[in-house]
Structure 1
Amino acid sequence: MSLRPSGGRSRLTIDAAHVVVLHTYLAYAAFFSALLIGCALHYRKIVKNGVAGYPDEWFPSVSATIGDWYPERNIFQILIAMSAGPRFALVFLQHYIQSSAYSSLPSFLFCIGLLRTFSCGGWVYITSSDDHDWHDILMITYIVCNIPWMLGGIAATPIRNTESRKKRKRIAAAFWLAIVPMVYFYIQHKVHKVPGAYTRYSFFEWSLIVLDILYDSVLASDLRAANLQIQIGSSIERLTTSDAQNISSTAEAKASPFDMNKQPESSNITKFNGLVLTTTSATATVVELKNIGVAWQDAGQRLQPTLNFFCDLYLSLVHWSVFTSLAPTLFYFSVWQLGIAGHELSLLSLLSPIFLRNPVVLDIASSRTGRMLLHIITLTGQLAYISSSPLIRLFIVALANSALSIGVAVDWSTPLSDVGYQATITSLGFFLSSLLKHANHTNIPLWPIVNDASGGYNLTGIVLTVFAINNFYTRTSSVESVRSAFTTQPIHEPTNPTPTHKHSVLNALALGSLIFSLHSLVAESSTLIAWSWTGYPIKGPVPHLHGSLTHVAQAIGILIPIVSSGLGYDCLELLTHPAWFAYGALSTCVLYCFSDWLGYFGGWNLSLFLMSIIPVVLARVAGSPSVAKTFTIAMLVVALFYVGSVFTVAYAFVPGGQIFRERTNWVLATQFLFLASVFRWPRTNLPPLTFKLSSSGRSRAKSTLATLTVLSLLVTIYRWPTKIPQPYRPGPRILRTGIWTVHFGIDDEGRDSQRRIRDVVRDMQLDVFGLLETDLHRPVFGNRDLTRVMVEELGYYVDIGPGPNKHTWGAVLFSKFPIIKSTHHLLPSPDGELAPAIHAVLDVFGAPVNVVVVHNGQEETPLDRELQSKAVADIMANTYPEPFIFLGYVVTDPHAASPAPYQILVNGGRMHDIDQADLDRWCEYILYRGVYRTAYARVSRSTVTDTELQIGQFQLPKYGHVVTNETEPARYLRAWREELPSEHWFPDEYYIQRGGVKGHHYHVFNTPLYYKLPEGAVV
């Protein structure tokens, strides 16, 4: 540090490395002073947690140390505030030392560094005791930002600084390796409640703090190697004559740190409108600060390609969101009609590329203004959520998909040299949409079927879309400017690259098949898990916990062509080899034929395969001789696949549907038959393909992909259930059960109903209940999972029942009690739809209790209902006299004689009706034996679904005892509510006299029915 006069004014000059060192000392001082003071003053308090205290827990976590007690919290925050200035300076200095005219990576890292710093301030000053959710969100954001910050920092380190690069690699490796045991011990603490696990977790948490600060400190070595100094006190006008002569605006003043052939000249000063950066080989580099605000404008200009890339990525997300919203928006009407309703014609909106046959339309759509207009019309698909009318929403979404189909036809039919950019944006946009579903309980938050009340972030999405469209239209350079960052140079297309007429049709079939395959199998990360699920004991992946594994497979698939292009391989030639097609086909066979981990392993490889061939298919359709024909055929294939795939289940409701009955294997085989045309089979004359990405393009894509992948893992950790399910009334051994047919999770207004179902279940305090019509892992239902909100927020064990490859409408069992074992049944269905059933044995207060959740066939198929009822009756009779509860949809009048289901189930299954005097029933029934029934309620549906919720409350005999008297008089000792203890009572708010709750109330009897226990009952 020195003071030098300049024109009558002193100038303060310090080594830039001192700023980094100051930051390091202040940061370490902040954390470790809090640790020492906390241990000295509040040791037992900061080591105690929700599971255990001292001596089981003997080392404090970071959050407890810095956020809970005075004075350590206050001293910590003061020191962190003091380190804020050096930290921002550190980000700026790293950008300067690594900046290059040949790469936008340093500029990208500059933005990440700022975001990382702000999120650090967030979790530091919003502690877990202040707001646990925001503390965690900002902490996760900080960790996610560390991925590109560390990996990008390694890549951007000047080549000559080999020691700095090695240090960064070692520290980053240690940082990410430490996360693995940290997560393990966190799960042991939070989920399994293991005493002492949090102490072990804390060691790794503190190691992340140490390594994180240590990583930033490496910058000091780079700054010393560059002789960078900071000079404060002089202005541009007072520079000496010799200084002024050094000012140069030539490009050599900023030699790329990535180019070893370029060395600094004797003396150069780079001027940025008041910010002067002087580089001298013999003397120190001087940073003269005068008007730093103007420098931000220059930094923004250099960040423009990165901003363009992320805007295009977001528009790709919007396109996938609008596209995948069409099928569930229209199928709402098909479900209510239980057949072809006519609204299916909205699928024809996908055929809008046919208008591109008109050269005028094609020219307009290909222009920047035309593409902007198409983006604006596509935006209306997001705006559709405002309408409460399902029909209006369908019309708007269909219009948006018309514009969308034209837009992707224009984008994907670009010259072969643009395939790299288009494939990358398309793949990452699809991946991002799947990630958002994973983070938002399987709903894309931009869908029109969700709103603020059902988990939507529609307004936020619309604002971002407007910003992205504005970015697209106002780019100072051509629309292709951002794409040029991905292509190393103009690619000389091969001789005769234009597809022939025959190849154009085959390529269109492949494109349509790829779009449908992506949508139907990997648009939701848990769909493939649902295919392989077989129940308890668990022998495979769990939908709400292992979805990130599917994202890892998708990421690898996207990465294969990106990495291959960097290694100099002709990756598209590799990915079009018949052996690669065989790999995908074999993976599909394993998925279809096997279950549990083996079946999922096939699906995992299939998702990798599908993501990897996106560049192949787009390259085949690029430069198509007829854009209109190719993309119209492709979208027609998508529409036909939608219809064919749902007919495999809905065959009972459509003319000729029996042809498609349970023919998922046909659909899969057709998908792969169409995809086969893009591979290089012997004696085929397909034009060669090329896929090139520049180093900066690969870096940007890989950084984005890595960030999204780790974010998926962090979302899984954040969503991981943290409490063991507990029954609502463990003391008196009361078991409250329910059955509800929820109409595919779509309410009367066509909105997602997960949260509305959750609210009723929570208010009614159901311990065990079944939901029917719940298999939504198909494009027409949005590839959703109705269990996510309740499992995560209310705490249940869940069995999702037979998967989408079993061709049922679905059944789900929720239980507050451990599920000892469960068996999935496909009940006999010779005429109509397949009927699912779940038979589970629960550990209810230490006693095994059988529960069956079943959805029988419809009134139109009496033989099916008879055979299905007999099958369920056999299940119940075979377990006699064990306690058993039946929760089902059976379609029968009460007391109807055989072959109607009622007598078959009651007499054949050796069961009791919940209340045989209730004659106003048709489809839902609760039966029981081996337990005491104490209450029965019927709750109106409001507008959640088309069926009421039925509830049966039971009390178990004391452990080691059985029901003492099961005669009819003993079972029908009716009681007033006040005659029973209060733990038997249902919520008062749901009485119609009190107005009910959100449209729900007790109906039929207008009150729950209560029953006394028989004399001599031991409970």
Structure 2
Amino acid sequence: MASAAAAPRPRQLVIEAAHIARAHTILSFTAFLSALAVGCWLHYTKIVKNGVAGYPEEWFPSVSATIGDWYPERNIFQILIALNSGPRLALVSLQYYLHRTETSRLPGFVAINGVLRTLACGGWVYITSTDDHDAHDVLMISYIVLNIPWMFGSIACTPVQYSAARRRRRNAAVTFWLLLVPMIYFFIQHKVHRIPGAYTKYSFFEWGLIFFDIIHDSSAELELKAAELKVAIGSSLAGGAEKGDISDVTRRTAPDDTSSYTRSEKNAVSAPIVELVEVSLPKSSTTSHITSAQNFLSDLYLSYIFWSVLTSLAPTLFYFSVWRLGFTGSEAALLSCLSPVFLGSSWFRDCCRSRSGRTVLHLLSLSGLAAYVLERPEDRLLFVFFANAVACLGAAVDWTGLSGSDVGYQGILVGLGLLMSSLSKHANHSNNPVWPFIDERSGGYNKTGIALALLAIYNFYTRESPAQAVLPHPEKAASESREGVKSGAWICNALALGSLLFTLHELLAESSTTIAWSWTGYPITGPEPNRHGSLTHLAQAAGILLAVILSGPSGSALLSHPLWYAFGCACAYVMYSYKDWLGYAGAMGLAAFLMSVIPVIMQRAAATGKVARTYGVAWLVVVVFDVASTFTVAYAFVPGGEPFRERTDLVLSTQMALIGLAFRWPAINPSVPMVNLSSRAKAYARRTLAVLSVLSFVVTMYRWPANVPKPYRPGARIVRAGIWTVHFGIDNEGRDSQRRMRDLIKDMELDIVGLLETDLHRVVFGNRDLTRVMAEELGYVRRSRCSMWSEQTYCLQFVDIGPGPNQHTWGAVLLSKFPIINSTHHLLPSPHGELAPAIEAVLDMYGTEVTVIVSHNGQEETPLDRELQATELARIMSKTYPNPVIFLGYVVTKPLASRPAPYEIMINDGRVHDIDHQDWDRWCQYIMYRGLYRTAYARVSRSTITDTELQIGQFVIPRHGVGVTNETEPARYLRAWKEELPEDHWFPQEYMPEQGGRRGHQYHVFNTPLYYKFPEGAML
């Protein structure tokens, strides 16, 4: 008995009651959001369908359809709700324990309602509308009715000292009941009036009820934490508990006289204090140098991941808009950037700023990279949408110092991450290797990118916490950090930050974007996209270096001075107004300016202390500019787009004007933003800039071909020319299609290729260069004989990218195996519709100058545009008569159509021949020619690369100085079997339908290439 008595008692388990409340909140959100995500992924069209309409009229699911109709989302939800029942009932008990008094029975009444409310919740969760619609609705209504005493009773019972919990309960309850009004209205519209789309609107408010219900209950965490309530399970080590006791609840009760509180006790129920890191890179010994270097590299790579996720959103969503040529609803995914508004919740902000919370955000943002494994474009968009929301949320936490990082250090990381992202695209044929619409088949290194990101996140989570300095909560920032900031300056700084982020994305996410702005064609008198992109990187590096060198009070004063802003505006003006080297010089100056002011503007935004509203407005500005910059060229396809038509000048001016709001103006921001960097941070930044700059030039030299392009059949003087509308380099599965296009063009051995819809130097297309893969790997580009600064007028180059993004067209490209002697870029008359681009180039083909025209004309909806454009193209072709011409273009017309249709205008007035006027099954793509012998014509199916076929014409250049001896129609239409021509004239036989085609391509319409004999007396 004595030994038994002496046996040690079980150790007591003590749990902070606030952790139970947090577990309840996390399980609740996870249950609903996981069901929503899985349901949209697996059964999207089924869960949005109802008794009135389906997709696309209804495009967002209701709560009931999401959680109760389909496996496995229903089961996932029910399991998580079952796990949540314990914390739910425990929370009711703990709340009653806090609120109970000897003078009131209200806490007991509220607790009973809480238990009944929990049982009603279990009822409508496990009895779904599919099982028993009436029972489900009765239990759901009961749940809502029981919310009345639960919510308002909880507010009434909350002690006054727990003001934060009381405020959250009041705000959530008021919002919850206000949402019922529009929800009931749209339910009536759906159920009674049977209006398609009404149920989607109803669903938004239904989900709102769920979220605000959870937010209301999450306020218990604030209350339990302030009360320092703990739950002890088991016997006390001190032996104070009796043998029969299995639990003990302890609390620190507040004295009746609040004036007798000690200072620490008062802090226990006040707003939490945010602890910020004074210096992001810890100072330590030699061993610490290695650790801090690892930390810096991890932070740099995570910044790169942020830019990768951000820049992938627009191309992922715009896939749907391109196919629909109008709004599809996918554009709403841009609103994911507004996620920082949720930082207005102190509880949510505290979760995000903790080390574990920030780690979770980093991990969740990787879902955008992991989306590459998904086959359906809509699935990838859903993941990228979520990842972008998380990335923007985490960025706001870091950029304001909430996570314990220095704002100036974060500003340098933002610039370095953007430079690293641009460099990765420069090295990977203008595609970011970790984008979700890039995979191994299209040059992706997705697994490597994700693995490196996981290592960086592991480093972030396990690194030692540096010395911390206690600073005020960001919503109540200390007066010294806000000195000189006017009361309304937060909006100015938010506008400036948003404009800066968009401008960085628009102009500097790809090294050749600003080169495309200045490109004028041949002879080359300016920079070339494939070999001068490193100069853009050098300008960006110079800007970051300025920010590093000039950190500190005096340097920050210079970078925030209005004169530096005037320099940036002057560079923007030169970039927009001039071409070639002068225009590009302005672009490089603007690049340096933008990169240098990143820390200054971020510091301004962080100093406002208004986290949610500042970063919410900043990202809203980004979204508005995303739309406005797209409308400058897409105005013909969107309602209300006409005012934006060709107004890049106004958009750019507005960007620069908003950026200027962050500079030192006496009426707005009279103070100097204090950007400080540790010596170690400066050293790491300088070394990184040096490495990235050198790597950029190494990549340029590696990607700079030295071989001279040669036509495929020089002995027979054959020219194969193709025209293809490539749909912005995104295939039917929403993935990059450059390499798939390369394979078909290579197999067809095309000497000249006209590509349309190719201007991808825009945010919505990912700022890409569609020519890189084909030009470099198929030999359409070579090392120039001109020096970078030479004024020599004749350079052997073989790629013309056509009018740039500031010319407001969808783009045209000419790839050639023959030297381009000169080229002219045309903007064809377009009074009503989209601007039509054209390239007029003179090529040296076996010693004969041949004019090649690549053109993309207007749509069916604008007949006047098409007539005027055809007239101008006819003028361009006729002015060179009788010299040889090849026309490769997109012309919306039926074959043989009379005026005012473009066909007759171009054939008769342009003095050219149709490739085969007996091919009646055409509508948009045409090949026309003059002064050449046509020997073959083929139409190759597109597979899933784009929405148009590849058309190919094969020609023979007549003997130099002789020309075509007979251009009559009978002489041109001497049809032949391929066996009647030399094998050099045969098209690849593996693409014959009877051979099964290749990679989804085959000859179609005629099911074979058409061949033609030479007329009698031809001089070859």
> Normalised by the size of structure 1, how large is the TM-score?
0.69
Deviation at 1:699, TM superposition (A): 1.3
| Structure 2 residue 517 is matched with structure 1 residue 517 | no
Q: For residues 133-148 of structure 1, what are the structure 2 equivalents within 5 Å? A: none
1:633 to 617, 621, 624: 617
Identity of aligned residues (%): 61
Structure 2: unaligned runs, 5 residues or longer: 1-284, 472-476, 781-797
Q: Which residue of the partner structure matches residue 915 of structure 1?
A: 916
Identify if the C-alpha distance between structure 1 residues 748 and 495 changes in structure 2 by more than 3 Å, giving closer, same or farther. closer
The one-letter code sitting in structure 2 at the alignment partner of 1:779 is: V
Check conservation: 1:869, 1:904, Cα contact below 8 A.
yes
Q: Distance in 2 between matches of 1:370 and 1:305?
A: 22
Q: Which residue of the partner structure matches residue 391 of structure 2?
A: 404
Deviation at 1:795, TM superposition (A): 1.2
Helix, strand or coil at the partner of 2:488: helix
Q: Which residue of the partner structure matches residue 860 of structure 2?
A: 859
Q: Which residue of the partner structure matches residue 984 of structure 1?
A: 985
**Deviation string for 1:8-66 (max 9, x for gaps)?**
xxxxxxxxxxxxxxxxxxxxxxxxxxxxxxxxxxxxxxxxxxxxxxxxxxxxxxxxxxx
Q: For residues 788-827 of structure 1, what are the structure 2 equivalents within 5 Å? A: 788-796=772-780, 797-827=798-828
Q: Which residue of the partner structure matches residue 464 of structure 2?
A: 476
Q: Distance in 1 between matches of 2:612 and 2:303?
A: 21
Identify if the C-alpha distance between structure 1 residues 379 and 479 changes in structure 2 by more than 3 Å, giving closer, same or farther. farther
Q: Distance in 1 between matches of 2:748 and 2:308?
A: 35
Helix, strand or coil at the partner of 2:778: helix
| Structure 2 residue 541 is matched with structure 1 residue 540 | no
**Deviation string for 1:940-976 (max 9, x for gaps)?**
0000000000000000111221101001110001110
| Structure 2 residue 362 is matched with structure 1 residue 361 | no
Helix, strand or coil at the partner of 1:775: coil
| Structure 2 residue 451 is matched with structure 1 residue 463 | yes
Q: For residues 421-460 of structure 1, what are the structure 2 equivalents within 5 Å? A: 421-460=409-448
Identify if the C-alpha distance between structure 1 residues 480 and 934 changes in structure 2 by more than 3 Å, giving closer, same or farther. farther
Identify if the C-alpha distance between structure 1 residues 354 and 498 changes in structure 2 by more than 3 Å, giving closer, same or farther. farther
Identify if the C-alpha distance between structure 1 residues 474 and 685 changes in structure 2 by more than 3 Å, giving closer, same or farther. closer
**Deviation string for 1:817-837 (max 9, x for gaps)?**
000100000000000000000
2:750 to 766, 777, 797: 766
Check conservation: 1:499, 1:625, Cα contact below 8 A.
no
Identify if the C-alpha distance between structure 1 residues 907 and 925 changes in structure 2 by more than 3 Å, giving closer, same or farther. same
Residues 437-446 or 471-480, more deviating: 471-480
Q: Distance in 2 between matches of 1:838 and 1:962?
A: 24
Q: Which residue of the partner structure matches residue 537 of structure 2?
A: 551
Identify if the C-alpha distance between structure 1 residues 398 and 562 changes in structure 2 by more than 3 Å, giving closer, same or farther. same
Deviation at 1:691, TM superposition (A): 2.0
Q: Distance in 2 between matches of 1:806 and 1:480?
A: 52
Helix, strand or coil at the partner of 2:455: helix
The one-letter code sitting in structure 1 at the alignment partner of 2:655 is: Q
Check conservation: 2:485, 2:669, Cα contact below 8 A.
no
Deviation at 1:494, TM superposition (A): 4.0
Q: Distance in 1 between matches of 2:564 and 2:924?
A: 50
**Deviation string for 1:649-673 (max 9, x for gaps)?**
0000011111100000110011011
Helix, strand or coil at the partner of 2:1014: coil
The one-letter code sitting in structure 1 at the alignment partner of 2:301 is: Y
The one-letter code sitting in structure 1 at the alignment partner of 2:417 is: G
2:327 to 340, 352, 360: 340
Identify if the C-alpha distance between structure 1 residues 496 and 450 changes in structure 2 by more than 3 Å, giving closer, same or farther. closer
Helix, strand or coil at the partner of 2:309: helix
Helix, strand or coil at the partner of 1:891: coil
**Deviation string for 1:216-252 (max 9, x for gaps)?**
xxxxxxxxxxxxxxxxxxxxxxxxxxxxxxxxxxxxx
Check conservation: 2:753, 2:816, Cα contact below 8 A.
yes
| Structure 2 residue 597 is matched with structure 1 residue 596 | no
Identify if the C-alpha distance between structure 1 residues 529 and 594 changes in structure 2 by more than 3 Å, giving closer, same or farther. same
Q: Distance in 2 between matches of 1:671 and 1:868?
A: 33
Q: Distance in 1 between matches of 2:904 and 2:381?
A: 44
Q: Which residue of the partner structure matches residue 377 of structure 1?
A: 364
Q: Which residue of the partner structure matches residue 832 of structure 1?
A: 833
Identify if the C-alpha distance between structure 1 residues 479 and 447 changes in structure 2 by more than 3 Å, giving closer, same or farther. farther
The one-letter code sitting in structure 2 at the alignment partner of 1:655 is: P
Deviation at 1:786, TM superposition (A): 0.4
1:657 to 613, 627, 641: 641
Helix, strand or coil at the partner of 2:838: strand
Q: Distance in 2 between matches of 1:452 and 1:390?
A: 17
Deviation at 1:422, TM superposition (A): 0.7
Deviation at 1:449, TM superposition (A): 1.1
Q: Which residue of the partner structure matches residue 897 of structure 1?
A: 898
Q: Which residue of the partner structure matches residue 946 of structure 1?
A: 947
Q: Which residue of the partner structure matches residue 266 of structure 1?
A: none
Q: Distance in 1 between matches of 2:505 and 2:351?
A: 29
Q: Which residue of the partner structure matches residue 579 of structure 1?
A: 563
Helix, strand or coil at the partner of 1:531: helix
| Structure 2 residue 375 is matched with structure 1 residue 388 | yes
Q: For residues 109-188 of structure 1, what are the structure 2 equivalents within 5 Å? A: none
Helix, strand or coil at the partner of 1:634: helix
Check conservation: 2:490, 2:608, Cα contact below 8 A.
yes
Q: Which residue of the partner structure matches residue 282 of structure 2?
A: none
Check conservation: 2:496, 2:661, Cα contact below 8 A.
yes
Q: Distance in 1 between matches of 2:733 and 2:995?
A: 25
Check conservation: 2:481, 2:607, Cα contact below 8 A.
no
Q: Which residue of the partner structure matches residue 844 of structure 2?
A: 843
Check conservation: 1:322, 1:447, Cα contact below 8 A.
yes
Q: Distance in 1 between matches of 2:770 and 2:699?
A: 18
Q: Distance in 1 between matches of 2:962 and 2:700?
A: 43
Identify if the C-alpha distance between structure 1 residues 827 and 507 changes in structure 2 by more than 3 Å, giving closer, same or farther. same
The one-letter code sitting in structure 2 at the alignment partner of 1:984 is: H
Deviation at 1:419, TM superposition (A): 2.3
Q: For residues 995-1006 of structure 1, what are the structure 2 equivalents within 5 Å? A: 995-1006=996-1007
Q: Which residue of the partner structure matches residue 960 of structure 2?
A: 959
Deviation at 1:685, TM superposition (A): 4.5
Deviation at 1:474, TM superposition (A): 1.2
Deviation at 1:420, TM superposition (A): 2.4
Q: Distance in 2 between matches of 1:454 and 1:529?
A: 24
Q: Distance in 2 between matches of 1:543 and 1:458?
A: 26
Q: Distance in 1 between matches of 2:690 and 2:480?
A: 33
**Deviation string for 1:473-507 (max 9, x for gaps)?**
111334979x99xxxxxx99946438444111111
Helix, strand or coil at the partner of 2:550: helix
Q: Which residue of the partner structure matches residue 261 of structure 1?
A: none
Deviation at 1:639, TM superposition (A): 0.5
Check conservation: 1:826, 1:835, Cα contact below 8 A.
yes
Deviation at 1:571, TM superposition (A): 1.3
Q: Which residue of the partner structure matches residue 767 of structure 2?
A: 783
The one-letter code sitting in structure 1 at the alignment partner of 2:716 is: P
Q: Which residue of the partner structure matches residue 935 of structure 1?
A: 936
| Structure 2 residue 738 is matched with structure 1 residue 754 | yes
Q: Which residue of the partner structure matches residue 689 of structure 1?
A: 673
Helix, strand or coil at the partner of 1:928: strand
Check conservation: 2:312, 2:435, Cα contact below 8 A.
yes
The one-letter code sitting in structure 2 at the alignment partner of 1:721 is: P
Q: Distance in 2 between matches of 1:402 and 1:1004?
A: 47
Check conservation: 1:497, 1:688, Cα contact below 8 A.
no
Check conservation: 1:472, 1:479, Cα contact below 8 A.
no
Q: Which residue of the partner structure matches residue 717 of structure 1?
A: 701
